[in-house]
Amino acid sequence: MSIWEYANPVKFIRTTDLVLPWVSALAVAALVVGLVWGFFFTPEDYRQGSTVKIIYLHVPAAMMAINAWVMMLVTSLVWIVRRHHVSALAARAAAPIGATFTIIALVTGALWGQPMWGTWWAWDPRLTSFLILFLFYLGYMALWTAIENDDTAADLTSILCLVGSVFALLSRYAVNFWNQGLHQGASLSLDAEENVADVFWYPLLVCIAGFVLLFVALVFLRTQTEIRARRARALLARERQA
Amino acid sequence: MIALLTRDLRLAVRAGGGFGLGLAFFLIVTVLVPFGVGPETGLLSKIAPGVLWIGALLACLLSLDRIFALDWEDGSLDLLATAPLPMEGIVSVKALAHWITTGLPLVLAAPLLGVLLSLPADGYLWVLVSLAVGTPALSVIGTFGAALTVGLKRGGLLLSLLVLPLYVPTLIFGAEVARRGAEGLAVQTPLLMLGGISAGAIALLPFASAAVLRINLR
């Protein structure tokens, strides 16, 4: 029993078919509980008022936007090293989801920033690096769709993902250097003595769990779709040859 | 390698287009900016370093698809791939040729165009230095982008979408050196970072470009 068994598309589809309903149900449950708890059953912040509640969408989305890229990096590496097609397809499946999370983080941040900072947008390091991350997602997805041969596309995009990761990190630090921030520091560090107050903390944790599960469910579903789409294309090609 | 370099340079100079095009584009962009933001000298001299950097970057971008496209079309890229020279060497030479035909003229033209934008007197040296240090990185990164899109019919637009995010760190540090230089501040930190990015890109990216080119040629 090793993890590489799931590199077999049939095995992957069979297993994810079993797991998918559970993961989706858990994701929905966690999101409903976390968001309802967060929106209706937490006190208002004494300075930020009710706007503080956007944290339940903003923080998990921002986390997953970065984690989705990391996942793409790992699956791209697996594809380059071990040539498992499911891995490349999973990276392809994750990109639009990650891009969507990036947009959610940017939009919720703008909605919060308008009343709190008095502006929709500031060229703050965190905001700017998220915008750049979004551009990386766009380029990655565009390259996937531009190339017709599946294996070539998988190879090229995975190398782009590797190079892009290095430059995304570089941009992050360059942007830090370029402009001082308006954004508050990290509110969820594991090593910090105290993060946000406990009343906000627990529903936030539930929301984060919900977003992670949602991401996993969507990646499973989209990877299955990609596998089936490729299978359908192969069948059509074979029919045309016969 | 030297033969390949002289061949590329000769092609760029003699086979029309290419060579002067980037320079002309740089000139046009710099001339258009005052039309866009108004002829006020104070404002122009404040944004001059940034405008020069953006102009150089766009001019560089414009000429990227020529790095491999012509060789791809007439098949000489396949011949080069089977030559004894390793792919990494070919890619590096191509990047070098691109820098000599595009980057270097841009660096030399930048102070002249700075006059048009009333760049402060302190700025000339640092615009020159920052572009000289930064444009090799632009060429090498651009070669990677060009290698990614070499086989595509309409790769130009995709190429800019892929390459521009990769240009962000170089642009930030390069423009920062030029801006600080123009305002008479200390430039050491961003200049070192810019040099670091250039050196790292020159050392590492040819491997990625070569891998990508091999995939595209198989």
Q: Measured between CA atoms, how close is B209 to chain A, in angstroms? A: 9
pLDDT of residue B1: 76
Are the C-beta atoms of residues A220 and A9 closer than 8 Å to each other?
Answer: no
What is residue B86's DSSP assignment? -
| Three-class SS state of B51 | helix
Query: Which residue range is the domain that position A150 belongs to?
Result: 54-183+219-241
Give the mean pLDDT of chain A.
Answer: 86
pLDDT of residue B121: 84
Q: Does A150 touch chain B (CB under 8 A)?
A: no
Domains in chain A, number? 1
- Mean pLDDT of the B109-128 span: 88
A160-217 per-position pLDDT tens digit: 999 999 998 888 888 877 776 666 666 555 555 555 667 778 888 899 999 999 999 9
In a domain, A112, yes or no: yes
> Cβ A159–B212 below 8 Å, yes or no?
yes
Question: Which of the residue ranges A97-101, B6-10, B89-93 would you say has the lowest mean pLDDT?
Answer: B6-10
The A residues from 25 to 54 touching B (CB cutoff 8 Å) are: none
Query: Which is higher by pLDDT, A112 or A104?
Result: A104
pLDDT of residue A1: 55
Please give the radius of gyration of chain A, using alpha carbons only, rounded to the nearest integer.
20
pTM for this predicted structure: 0.88
- Mean pLDDT of the A152-164 span: 92
What residues of B are in contact with residue A173 (Cβ under 8 Å)? 169
pLDDT of residue A69: 94
In a domain, A6, yes or no: no
- Name the pLDDT band for A98 (thresholds 50, 70, 90): very high
pLDDT of residue A200: 77
ipTM value for the complex: 0.86
Question: Which of the residue ranges A9-23, A203-217, B7-21, B143-157 would you say has the lowest mean pLDDT?
Answer: B7-21
- Name the pLDDT band for A47 (thresholds 50, 70, 90): low
Q: Would you say residue B13 has pLDDT above 80?
A: no
Question: Which of the residue ranges A166-170, B1-5, B21-25, B143-147 would you say has the lowest mean pLDDT?
Answer: B1-5
Structure tokens at B182: 């123009």
What residues of A are in contact with residue B165 (Cβ under 8 Å)? 132, 135-136, 139, 164, 167-168, 171
pLDDT of residue A195: 58
What residues of B are in contact with residue A171 (Cβ under 8 Å)? 165, 168-169, 172
Q: Would you say residue A59 has pLDDT above 70?
A: yes
In a domain, A72, yes or no: yes
* Proportion of chain B above pLDDT 90, given as a percent: 41
What residues of A are in contact with residue B212 (Cβ under 8 Å)? 155-156, 159
> Cβ B193–A136 below 8 Å, yes or no?
no
